[in-house]
Amino acid sequence: MAKTRINCPNCRQPIVADIEQLFDVGVEPSAKQKLLSGLANVAQCPHCGFQGSVATPVIYHDPDKELLLSYFPPEVGLPRNEQERLIGGLINKVVNNLPQEKRKGYLLRPQTMLTFQGLLERILEADGITREMIQAQQAKLNLLQRLLNASGDPRIEILRNEDELIDAEFFALLSRLLETSIASNDRATAQALADLQKQILPETTFGRQLQEQTQEIEAAVSSLQEAGQNLTREKLLDLVIKAPNDTRVSAYVSLARPVMDYSFFQILSERIDRARGDGRTRLIQLRERLLDLTRQVDLQLEARVAQSRQLLGKILQAEDVGAATVQYLPALDEFFIQELNIALESARKQGDLAKIDKLQQVMQVVQEASTAPPEIALIEELLEAADEPTRQKILEDNQAMITPEFLDTLTSLVARVEDGSQDQELVANLKSIYRQSMRYSMQMKLKG
């Protein structure tokens, strides 16, 4: 986003704001989420305290869907010829960003949106999202904006009044926006979203359910870690039988599904045969619940594998396989890597050189993306250091890397880990590294 000098929409005093007019998914895959989030082109006035959206022309481009949309806010008040000149310049940027072979006829016919809401709805419509779904999403976005603008008691009151709106989709939306802000190095927004997420958990019905689930999952993980390599089917069954609630049982199934095989259920059946009375009834009910849960897990895994296979096929059909892989990087997970390796092995057995070449292009992009940036690699090295003197030596050896950008990365990482992790030792170590890095940076500036 570009720092732009504008007049405050409320008091008309000159202020500086981050203004973005071109949202090109082909260039920046996160552009769509940024625009739909409602957090783009938001200004805050230091004079009157205004905080809200700024009216500005917008061009949205999605080459995969051959979608080119334009919106010009009437309140900007420019003459028609000036509007066309400005929009034309933005569209020229879109065309220039595309290779010659991808410049198609839709670029000559941009769709003009009369309202900003109409622009958002058209983007979502292209994803197969109905008007009812759009309205529900918009309600959650509006609620999120209200919560970000409020604090203290007013925010708590909003949370209690809108408790029904805060569900799994709301938390998913909040998480996506947090990830986008961190990726964009928007430290202020990321911190605001992280603080909001932390406050929502204890103040809402769904948030408390999430907290309970998280605690049960952590307890299940702890139990399995204690067993370690000595975890047998018998020990796992003992843990499941002693689980205090269904949430813990579900956690065990999710974490240890491979161990819950035919032999595991055979052992459970043998215990049922030996049991009597209420104990037998409970074990029979537990077996039915475990069978149901394992079926659900298997169906989810099958769906994810099928989705990864479909995505890989889509990438391989693209004209530019490397560019397509970059575009879909946020969606690539361990299931995709597994399908990629299977496809590569199959192509080698068949001697399909053309397919091998494309698959290797995909593999190269994935490997490059999975390589930690130098800043993250340095943070990992600092985390592994035994004590402060060792860290100091690492900082001195990497003096050129201790930049404001490195400190921003470290700050964002501390905020994210502190919000989402129960590993207090990790949080404490990261904070210690940040303080030591900040001191070292200041010392270098004083020496300079």
Q: What is the pLDDT of residue 151?
A: 83
Closest CA to 178 of 198, 158, 205: 198
Q: What is the pLDDT of residue 319?
A: 85
Q: What is the pLDDT of residue 139?
A: 85
Angular region, 392: left φ>0, alpha ψ -120 to 50, beta rest:
alpha
Greatest C-alpha distance within the chain: 87
User: Which parts of 20-175 are beta strand (E)?
Assistant: 22-24, 42-44, 51-53, 58-62, 67-71, 111-113
Report yes or no: 392 and 433 within 8 Å, Cβ to Cβ: no
Q: What is the pLDDT of residue 423?
A: 61
Query: Residue 166: CB partners within 8 Å, gap ≥ 6?
Result: 143, 159, 200, 204, 205, 206, 207
Phi, psi (5° rounding) for residue 394? -65, -40
Sign of CA dihedral 162, 163, 164, 170: positive
Q: What is the pLDDT of residue 386?
A: 82
Q: What is the pLDDT of residue 18?
A: 84
Alpha helix (H) residue ranges in 228-276: 233-242, 246-255, 262-274
Q: What is the pLDDT of residue 378?
A: 85
Q: What is the pLDDT of residue 260?
A: 93
pTM over 0.75: no
Q: What is the pLDDT of residue 358?
A: 92
Question: Which two tokens mark 19?
Answer: 């203004």
Angular region, 55: left φ>0, alpha ψ -120 to 50, beta rest:
beta
Which one-letter DSSP state was computed for residue 328?
T
Q: What is the pLDDT of residue 22?
A: 92
Q: What is the pLDDT of residue 290?
A: 95
Q: Which residue has the tokens 């005093």?
A: 13
Query: Residue 312: CB partners within 8 Å, gap ≥ 6?
Result: 336, 339, 340, 343, 362
Q: Which residue has the tokens 């949430």?
A: 247
pLDDT digits (tens, 9 = 90+) for 123-181: 888 887 777 777 787 788 888 888 988 888 899 999 999 998 898 888 888 887 887 77
Regions in the chain scoring below 70 on pLDDT: 1-2, 183-185, 330, 370-373, 415-423, 446-448
* 249: exposed, middle or buried (Cβ count in 10 Å: 0-12, 13-18, 19+): buried
Q: What is the pLDDT of residue 291?
A: 95
The span from the CA of 235 to the CA of 363, in Å, is 40
The span from the CA of 396 to the CA of 34, in Å, is 38
Q: What is the pLDDT of residue 132?
A: 78
Alpha helix (H) residue ranges in 13-100: 31-36, 80-97
Q: What is the pLDDT of residue 346?
A: 93
